[in-house]
Amino acid sequence: MYRFLFIGDIVGRPGRRCLQDLLPAIIKEYEVSFVVANGENAAGGVGITPPIFNELREMGIDVLTSGNHIWDKKEIYPFLNKEKRLLRPENYSSPHVPGKGSGIFFLNNFKIAVLNLAGRVFMPHVECPFHTAQKQVALLKNITPNIIVDFHAEATSEKKALALFLDGQVTAVIGTHTHVQTADEQILPQRTAFITDVGMTGPYNSILGVSQEPVLKNFTTGLPQKFTVASGNSQFNALLVEAEEKTGKALSVLRLNIINIT
């Protein structure tokens, strides 16, 4: 038996500070042996940079996944080609797209795979996540039954559908992207752990991590605004999953939503 933690989209400096405050104690308390986090908003709310990737790795995060915002900081493009622990969604078919959508990592005496996919409903155009998942999971299963999927998608239906499509084939399907945690964590019939959206680790008094003033101005006037990351107190959102290393089947799930008042 082992436990891994999946942390919802890290937003800006408040998200990173929140991890600094809480992550070491959470890893210790829950005896977590592998940590995955979605880092697509880690740098000022949009994208991730190599120094911020390194900062997050030093905090104890083993693998960073991403989504539509991975392309926002151009300096990450060459870095994606050389850093195996930073993933972008797998379902880009062009050979000109840098980076990889999956990786295999060693954990004590067994291997664990992470697969990052993006949804297509109300999202930028990508290849079919279902067909991509089928192909990739078949390859990864030859190496390990322990497979964690980050499905970065907007629509709740698309996320549940992919989770059921992969039930029994992977250890967990974790939804990301909306920055709002759903209270529907579950273990599907064939023992795949699932949550529609794991949420956000970032500023608490905000609109999805962004300061409310420009968002309200945008909604009330229709005029474009420059969005900035909110400041102040933060929240930590994650899903803790316990699984069997031999079979890759989930045993239990625990959703974490911690409000960090500083």
**Residue 259 to residue 262: CA distance in whole angstroms:** 10
- Phi, psi dihedrals of residue 120, rounded to the nearest 5°: -120, -10
Q: Which two tokens stand for residue 236?
A: 């930590």
Least distance in Å: CB of 46 to Fe ion? 9
Least distance in Å: CB of 47 to Fe ion? 10
Q: Per-residue string for binding with Fe ion, 174-213, x by CB under 5 A?
A: ---x------------------------------------
Least distance in Å: CB of 69 to Fe ion? 5
Q: Which two tokens stand for residue 2?
A: 């082992």
Least distance in Å: CB of 139 to Fe ion? 25
Please identify, using beta-carbon distances, which residue of 205 and 247 lies nearer to Fe ion: 205
Selected range binding Fe ion among 62-70, 71-79, 105-113, 122-130, rule: CB under 5 A:
62-70
Contact 184, 195 (CB under 8 A): yes
Least distance in Å: CB of 68 to Fe ion? 5
Contact 254, 191 (CB under 8 A): no
Exposure letters 170-187 (e unless 16+ CB within 10 A, then b): bbbbbbbbbbebeeebeb
Say which residues have a Cβ less than 8 Å from residue 134's Cβ, sequence separation at least 6: 165
Q: Indicate which single residue of 15, 22, 52, 68 sits in contact with Fe ion (rule: CB under 5 A).
A: 68
Residue 41 lies near Fe ion (rule: CB under 5 A): yes
Please identify, using beta-carbon distances, which residue of 12 and 103 lies nearer to Fe ion: 12
Q: Which 88-127 residues touch Fe ion, going by CB under 5 A?
A: none
Contact 223, 215 (CB under 8 A): no
Q: Which 141-180 residues touch Fe ion, going by CB under 5 A?
A: 177
**Residue 133 to residue 149: CA distance in whole angstroms:** 9
Please identify, using beta-carbon distances, which residue of 39 and 145 lies nearer to Fe ion: 39
Which residues are paired to 210 by β-bridges? 207, 229
Catalytic residues: 69
Binding site for Fe ion (CB under 5 A): 9, 40-41, 67-68, 177
